[in-house]
Structure 1
Amino acid sequence: MSEIPIHIRHCLLYEFQLGNNATTAARNICAALGEGAVADRTCRDWFKRFREGDMSLEDRPKSGRPLESDIEPLKVLIEDKPRLTTRELSAMLGCNQSTIDRHLHEMGKVNKLET
C-alpha cells in the first residue's frame, strides 16, 4: 500500500463505510483536501483491503529487500568464529555475500588471508 497520511486513511474508511465506491471517494477527498490528495488507485487498494475485513489503517509489512539489515548477528558470528568465509556467513544469516562484504568493510574488517 502507498504511504499516505493517516488522516486521509481515516477519510478513506469513512467513505467506504458510507457505501461510496473508490472513485467517488477519491473525488470527494480531493475536493475537500485539494487536487492530488489521493490517487484513485490508492483508494481502490484501500477499499479492497476494507472489503477483505481489514479495517486497520496501518501499513502492511513490505516485502522485498529491507532498507537496512541488522549487523549485530554478523558481529557476534565473526567474534566467535573469525575464520568464517563470507559465503558461510551469508548462508548462516540468509543474505547476499555482497551484503556481508559491505558490512565487514563498514566495520573495518579486511581479508588478511587473501593471496
Structure 2
Amino acid sequence: MPPIDEKVRICLLYEYRLGSHAEVATFNLNRVFGVGSVSLFSVTYYYAKFRRGDVNLALKQKGKYSKVNPDIVRAMLKRDPTLTCREIAKVFGVNGTTISRLLKKMKKGEVLPKYKYK
C-alpha cells in the first residue's frame, strides 16, 4: 500500500468521525483529490485503525535504525585496516552487507584507510 498524502489522511479521519461508510469515504476522497488518490482497501485499513483508538496520522518509519556507529567503524579501520566486513559486523551484531554499505557511503564522503572488500 503506497503512502497516502497527509491531507487525505486528515480527511479520512474527518469522514470516519462523520460516520461515513468506507465506500462513501472512498468515493468522496477520490472526487476531491482525484481518482486513484485512495483505495477502498486503504480506507478500510485506516477505519480499523481509528476503531482501535489509534488516530495518529503520522506515517510509520520504515526500515530499522542502524546499530552501527560510523565513527567507531572508522576508528576500528584506522587501528587495523585489514579487518573484513564480517569481522566488523560481528562486533555490532549485524550482517556483513550492512557494514559494506556503510563503508561505501563513508568512502564517498571522505578518505578511508585502504580497505579490502571481502
TM-score class, shorter: 0.7 to 0.9
Corresponding residue number in structure 1 for 2:115:
110
Corresponding residue number in structure 1 for 2:4:
4
Q: Name stretches of at least 5 consecutive residues in structure 2 with no aligned partner.
A: none
Q: Name stretches of at least 5 consecutive residues in structure 1 with no aligned partner.
A: none
**Percent same amino acid among aligned pairs?**
31
Pairwise mapping of residues 1-115 of structure 1 onto structure 2 (< 5 A)?
2-63=2-63, 71-80=70-79, 82-106=81-105, 107=107, 108=112, 109-111=114-116
Q: How far is 1:29 from its partner?
A: 0.8
Q: How far is 1:44 from its partner?
A: 1.4
CA RMSD across the alignment: 2.8
Cα 1:105–1:19, aligned 2, differ >3 Å: closer, same or farther? closer
Post-superposition CA distance 1:48-83 (Å, at most 9, x none):
2111111111012224x67xx763442243345545
Cα 1:40–1:98, aligned 2, differ >3 Å: closer, same or farther? same
- Equivalent position SS for 2:36: coil
- Equivalent position SS for 1:35: coil
Return 70-79 or 24-33, whichever deviates more: 70-79
Query: Which aligned segments of 4 or more residues in structure 1 are displaced greater than 6 angstroms?
Result: none
Q: How far is 1:32 from its partner?
A: 2.1
TM-score (norm 1): 0.72
Contact 1:104/1:110 (CA < 8 Å) preserved in 2?
A: no
Aligned residues: 109
TM-score (norm 2): 0.71
Q: Which amino acid aligns with 1:36?
A: G
